[in-house]
Amino acid sequence: MRKLCLLFGIIVLLAGMSVQGQQKSPQFRITPQPTPDPSITIQDDNGGGYFVLDPTTGKFQCVLCEYNVTLSGYGEVKIDGCTIYFSYIEKSSYRLFATANICEQQATMACELYALPDSKYDIEPILEYWKDSSMKDSTATCPMPKVDYGFSEPKTRNSYCPCVIHLCATGHSYEGR
């Protein structure tokens, strides 16, 4: 009788495990973390332009804001610890060199432009040397140009309009009402 009970218990146990193995277990989804953008941005401290580089592929975009020129392509990248070195030489039109220290978040960039890309016209060579003292605040945008309209500080006030605009270049003044 004990053997029969033991045999029956083993059969029930095996059948229960078989049924348990066929049931769906709760799914634990592992959501992948978003991959951080590996690109680095170097923006000239003086607003001359910006340079965006993907160090994994060598793809770059360089924008010279002052001249409204955009250069792009694939260059050579070398990484040595915290420092990324970039170079691109287009023999007939331009050369780019950049060094970025990721640990200190500082970078320098040099651009020598001898001809406009996809243009038949010769230009005066453009030499740009940039320094980015803090890559943390660098953005891939050109700064708004500072425009001097030649207005001076108003010298008199009017009861209808609180200002008088003096045009420095002509010596004339405009009195608004």
Q: pLDDT tens for residues 146-162?
A: 666 665 555 444 444 44
Buried (b) or exposed (e) across 1-20, using 16+ Cβ within 10 A? Answer: eeeeeeeeeeeeeeeeeeee
Is the predicted pLDDT of residue 86 greater than 60, yes or no? yes
List the domain range (segments joined by +) for residue 163: 147-177
Edge-to-edge, what's the strand order for the sheet holding 106-115? 76-80, 83-90, 94-101, 106-115, 122-132
Name the band, by pLDDT with cuts 50, 70 and 90, for residue 23: low
Lowest-pLDDT range of 88-97, 110-119, 121-130, 168-177: 168-177
Q: Any bridge partners for residue 87, and if so which?
A: 76, 97
Q: Same domain for 125 and 162?
A: no
C-alpha dihedral (44, 50, 52, 53), degrees to nearest 10: -50
Task: Please report the pLDDT score of residue 18 as a whole number.
Answer: 60
Mean pLDDT of 25-51: 79
Q: Same domain for 116 and 163?
A: no
Spatial neighbors of 167 by CB under 8 A, at least 6 apart, are 150, 151, 173, 174
Q: Same domain for 161 and 107?
A: no
Residue 5 domain flag: no
Q: Same domain for 71 and 131?
A: yes
C-alpha to C-alpha distance for 131 and 128, rounded to whole angstroms: 10
Q: Which residue has the higher pLDDT, 106 or 143?
A: 106
Cβ–Cβ < 8 Å for 174, 165: yes
Residue 158 domain flag: yes
Q: Any bridge partners for residue 94, and if so which?
A: 90, 113
C-alpha to C-alpha distance for 90 and 76, rounded to whole angstroms: 12
Residue 163 domain flag: yes
Share of the chain above pLDDT 90, in %: 41
Q: Any bridge partners for residue 119, and if so which?
A: none
Q: Same domain for 54 and 87?
A: yes
Name the band, by pLDDT with cuts 50, 70 and 90, for residue 115: confident
Q: Give the pTM.
A: 0.62
Please name the residue that has the structure tokens 């803090």. 134
